[in-house]
């Protein structure tokens, strides 16, 4: 039922269901110090759990992770999507990009496409990010996507230090 995951094209990117061959660069990212704010670094077995559970979400919830592919070269650039493990109180908009894709606005372009799909096709309410307050890079990107700190939103149990960034909803984006 991978067919439930859409293929979404943007100016430079294609978002599509995760495939086995994406796991190499995905695991390399999670093994690197760059994953320190994503519960990393993770060994390959833990990275597989993350990768496969994101893919499995599509059957369980009707949304999930999407691999980011460079439309020009087909290269794997990272992952975005809507994450919702059992202990999350709401669906989360997430993203990560491999080192080669840094600094080019790839995460932003991909996250906007995933967010808009979630609103338009799945009718999800305004999405949020759970972010470690020390992860300034991710907080800045959330802000560039129009998200604002939502101090009233509850935080999932057992997530460690975490703030909630609330994204604009579908009406706000359209306005």
54 binds other proteins (CB under 8 A): yes
- Phi-psi category of 146—alpha, beta or left, where left has phi over 0 and alpha has psi -120 to 50? left
Residue 60 lies near other proteins (rule: CB under 8 A): yes
The answer to whether 103 touches 75, Cβ cutoff 8 Å, is no
Rounded to the nearest 5°, which phi and psi values hold at 13?
A: -125, 155
Distance in Å, CB of 39 to other proteins, minimum? 12
Q: Which residues partner with 165 through β-bridges? A: 129, 149
User: Is 98 a binder of other proteins (CB under 8 A)?
Assistant: no
Instruction: Please tell me whether residue 28 binds other proteins under the rule CB under 8 A.
Output: no
What is the Cα Rg of the chain in Å? Answer: 15
* Region from 19-27, 89-97, 117-125, 131-139 binding other proteins, contact rule CB under 8 A: 19-27
Interface with other proteins includes 42 (CB under 8 A)? no
30 binds other proteins per the rule CB under 8 A: no
Q: In Å, how far from its chain's centre is CA 36?
A: 16
Written as six digits, the tokens of 46 are 């833990």
**Which of 11, 86, 152, 175 touches other proteins (CB under 8 A)?**
86
- CB of residue 9 vs other proteins: minimum separation in angstroms? 21
Q: Which of residues 103-162 bind other proteins (CB under 8 A)?
A: 158
Number of chain residues interacting with other proteins (CB under 8 A): 29
- Stretch (H or E) spanning 13: strand 13-16
Nearer to other proteins, 59 or 143 (CB): 59
Q: Of these, 7, 9, 36, 56, which contacts other proteins (CB under 8 A)?
A: 56
C-alpha–C-alpha distance, residues 62 and 47, integer Å: 22
8 Å CB contact between 145 and 111? yes
Residues that bind other proteins (CB under 8 A): 1-3, 17-20, 23-24, 27, 44-45, 48-49, 51-61, 85-87, 158
């Amino acid at each position: 039922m991978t067919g439930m995951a859409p293929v979404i094209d943007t100016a430079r990117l294609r978002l599509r269901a995760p495939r086995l061959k994406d796991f190499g660069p995905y695991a390399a990212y999670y093994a690197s110090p760059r994953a320190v704010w994503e519960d990393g670094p993770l060994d390959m077995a833990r990275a597989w759990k993350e990768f496969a559970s994101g893919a499995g979400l599509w059957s369980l919830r009707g949304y999930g992770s999407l691999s980011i592919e460079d439309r020009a070269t087909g290269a794997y650039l990272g992952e975005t999507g809507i994450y919702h493990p059992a202990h999350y109180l709401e669906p989360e908009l997430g993203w990560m990009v491999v080192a080669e894709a840094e600094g080019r606005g790839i995460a932003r372009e991909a996250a906007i496409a995933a967010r808009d799909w979630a609103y338009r096709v799945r009718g999800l309410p305004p999405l949020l990010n759970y972010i470690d307050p020390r992860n300034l890079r991710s907080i800045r990107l959330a802000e560039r996507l129009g998200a604002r700190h939502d101090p009233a939103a509850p935080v999932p149990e057992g997530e460690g230090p975490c703030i909630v960034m609330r994204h604009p909803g579908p009406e706000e984006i359209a306005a």
